Structure 1
């Protein structure tokens, strides 16, 4: 039933009603909204939960239409437990994890009860919560509701999270002291985690382990999520596909058998034309980015697949000095580029260096935010300098664009290792780079020979496999259909 055709109250009351609760960060909200649209398109009544803080950001960035909902798809809010703020910036991850776990259960319970009293809408029949909001499992179970966890990281990242308890028990974590960050300890081999790439080191594991605190918040919460929350859920959703992470997925299913791989969640499950006003972007995109790429492509036909797209993601925070080095390194590379400079990428603000815009005029440009999937799919885009967040990695694979990898934190370092050594689509840059290293790395990625050319060939192969997974008869399409059948029976 289309969003423009109101359902008869009796029909609406008979629909399954799915409550979706993402972790309140951009990289989690994005795939959740795609899943919400996919469920709504298949006839489910859907309630999507933002925090009050993110709801305010959406209103400021995109206007009321972004959260107006549609027939059978509504938006609700819950508090995040942090002090009120009107900032347009990503909240502190450590504080947010602790606060949501502390205050979330009562808020979710109240919301489910309130939704049960909405006239003309069915009561909640199923809950899908973020893997990072695992406390929801216990609330839903207490209320007699089936509940699933949607983990938005990669499968290889989740495998490591599932073994955080063993990293503690075996004495790898917490680190002995601060010297472990610089004395080579991070190169310690970790060869006992099932399903993982051979030759893995501590530095390749999610960076939350890099702590000297035995009571570290994120280590503790991750262990609770994997040891207590996940096994209690009715099933697990992952935004990946079987051909990409088969070994890791086998290890996950050995622990959590009812695991559904449904990725890459993209146009096949929720086309851009479906409820286009409903968006998850917490920043207003610069709409001229695609027009700029079009113009570059039309003016220089040889520019096809020649533009480097640069985006450090929604959370990464860098120093002014690092931004200066990237600015001049990109300028010196000679390659056309589109660089997303998020408003809060530097904590106290940053301005483009004097003379930089003149130096790159006609071939390089900086934007505050953009429609990343559209940019990656554009025929002018030929490389992606990325932080290796999972959404970015998966979108790059789906578009067939090779990556220059500059991971920052969490499982981004794990994704980087896989992109470079397992999937063959990435080239890694060191964490500390100057303008010369940036220049050389960009030129290597975009080169017609050597490692860049090899990554481009592998990216084209993975593009075909990613699209095959979500096409009719594909593994992810079949898993999504199976999952939908399962939750449809919960009504």
Structure 2
């Protein structure tokens, strides 16, 4: 029987986490590993309905797809109890199935798990396997989550009252997290913005990130030059860390929860270079009807071409997205200045020569994809690590400007104009191209991420 090492990859079942883990799995597969990639059943069914992306993987030698049942409430609410009981049982059953001699593949030799899947630590111990943690978050966000414990111990969170969100309390400097300079409380992941001491997301993320001290190694989708300060600090307190990104520059394989509209690329082909603003809030963010309308008017007032992704479920309480947009934006679309699409292949759109900038929710995958192609960003962070990503994009790396949470059409239009043709926009574009070159250096032969992949394989996965 083939004696190649067999890695099981289990991502958290939301699109951004799945796609970054899938790129990592493809990278390891190309390095000679047998891969079993684990989806939850409902997510995989949805993906099969919306795209044929997986056919190439199904046909790949030594790349296998398995499914297990994951509780829908867990996906939405981070249910701690279900993580450690119900899902451990399902995962254990899958491991026994894969390790059965009749399965036709060698036994699993390592588990690579999304950082928020806490039950996999116990499963790895049961089967005497190394456990490797994969973070689809950036290193700065990782460090922020890691220090939820201290924030709770110092009683800085939960908030004392709802008014703390707007009364200046979140402007409190946090100057004691190693490797993280010039940050305030508001720049840390948004789970801290609760008044409930029993808040499930806050307490679960604290729990999950304290478990990481038990892992064999940590893989992060970033590169050393981008987040070097915090990576140095993390290296002194955590298991070995391997930065392998941007994964978007290494693999173009991705999955989609929605059917992709290929007309986007044809439409972009008809536009001038550096003339279009791309707008997408990812797969998870929700806008109110009023916020959607303000963004719409902002795009109208900007007088620049735009491609806007309005996916199903983007508007709160409106699964069909039949909110009436202003007639003016519909007129602009009819005149060819704008295009609204339900979903697209984002990496291909971002790399299209007509795209000049990205109005984004600041998810880490979107941030890394934008850096990888040298695009400046307008950031409207929605949840979780996105506030941290936004802070570094705008305040530290010099490649973005933030849109305030209370969306204002005039401000949106002004920022788009500045990005597209202003002095600040020109500086951001120059800086974005510098970071693009840094990213390419990292993944090229001899670069930091290239070498880290080799070290990960030698020191952990083949050991």
The bucket for the TM-score relative to the shorter chain is over 0.9
Q: Does the 8 Å CA contact 2:83/2:118 hold for their aligned counterparts? A: no
Q: Does the 8 Å CA contact 2:264/2:344 hold for their aligned counterparts? A: yes
Q: Which runs of 5+ in 1 are unaligned?
A: 1-9, 84-90, 297-302
Deviations 1:112-157 (Å, cap 9, x if unpaired)? 1100124321110110000011221121012101110001111100
Residue 443 of structure 2: aligned partner: 470
Residue 16 of structure 1: aligned partner: 5
Q: Does the 8 Å CA contact 1:310/1:385 hold for their aligned counterparts? A: yes
SS of the residue 1:353 aligns to: coil
Residue 65 of structure 1: aligned partner: 55
Paired residues, what number?
456
Looking at structure 2, the residues matched to 168 and 367 of structure 1 have their Cα atoms a distance apart, in angstroms, of: 42
Residue 269 of structure 2: aligned partner: 294
Deviations 1:359-412 (Å, cap 9, x if unpaired)? 232121011111111111111111000110000001101100000011111110
Looking at structure 1, the residues matched to 294 and 88 of structure 2 have their Cα atoms a distance apart, in angstroms, of: 45
Deviations 1:16-55 (Å, cap 9, x if unpaired)? 1000000111110011000111111111110000111201
How far residue 98 of structure 1 moved from its aligned partner, in angstroms, is 5.7
1:484 to 423, 446, 457: 457
Q: Does the 8 Å CA contact 2:249/2:372 hold for their aligned counterparts? A: no
Q: Does the 8 Å CA contact 1:131/1:151 hold for their aligned counterparts? A: yes
Residue 319 of structure 1: aligned partner: 288
How far residue 56 of structure 1 moved from its aligned partner, in angstroms, is 1.4
Residue 22 of structure 2: aligned partner: 33
Residue 443 of structure 1: aligned partner: 417
- In the TM superposition, 1:142-291 aligns within 5 A as 142-198=126-182, 200-227=183-210, 229-268=211-250, 270=251, 272=252, 279-291=254-266
How far residue 101 of structure 1 moved from its aligned partner, in angstroms, is 4.2
Looking at structure 1, the residues matched to 220 and 332 of structure 2 have their Cα atoms a distance apart, in angstroms, of: 44
Q: Does the 8 Å CA contact 2:296/2:326 hold for their aligned counterparts? A: no
Q: Does the 8 Å CA contact 1:97/1:218 hold for their aligned counterparts? A: no
Q: Does the 8 Å CA contact 1:16/1:45 hold for their aligned counterparts? A: yes
Cα RMSD (Å):
1.7
Specify whether residues 204 and 284 from structure 1 end up closer, same or farther in structure 2 by C-alpha distance, changes over 3 A only.
same
Looking at structure 1, the residues matched to 149 and 96 of structure 2 have their Cα atoms a distance apart, in angstroms, of: 35
Residue 127 of structure 1: aligned partner: 111
Q: Which runs of 5+ in 2 are unaligned?
A: none
Looking at structure 1, the residues matched to 305 and 206 of structure 2 have their Cα atoms a distance apart, in angstroms, of: 44
Looking at structure 1, the residues matched to 357 and 84 of structure 2 have their Cα atoms a distance apart, in angstroms, of: 39
SS of the residue 2:55 aligns to: helix
Q: Does the 8 Å CA contact 2:124/2:130 hold for their aligned counterparts? A: yes
Residue 359 of structure 1: aligned partner: 332
Residue 82 of structure 1: aligned partner: 72
TM-score relative to the length of structure 2: 0.95
Looking at structure 1, the residues matched to 71 and 347 of structure 2 have their Cα atoms a distance apart, in angstroms, of: 32
Specify whether residues 164 and 109 from structure 1 end up closer, same or farther in structure 2 by C-alpha distance, changes over 3 A only.
same
Looking at structure 2, the residues matched to 136 and 357 of structure 1 have their Cα atoms a distance apart, in angstroms, of: 49
Q: Does the 8 Å CA contact 1:307/1:380 hold for their aligned counterparts? A: yes
Looking at structure 2, the residues matched to 26 and 295 of structure 1 have their Cα atoms a distance apart, in angstroms, of: 30
Looking at structure 2, the residues matched to 56 and 451 of structure 1 have their Cα atoms a distance apart, in angstroms, of: 45
TM-score relative to the length of structure 1: 0.89
How far residue 222 of structure 1 moved from its aligned partner, in angstroms, is 1.7
Structure 1 segments of 4+ aligned residues over 6 angstroms from their partners: none
SS of the residue 2:424 aligns to: helix
> Does the alignment pair 1:46 with 2:18?
no
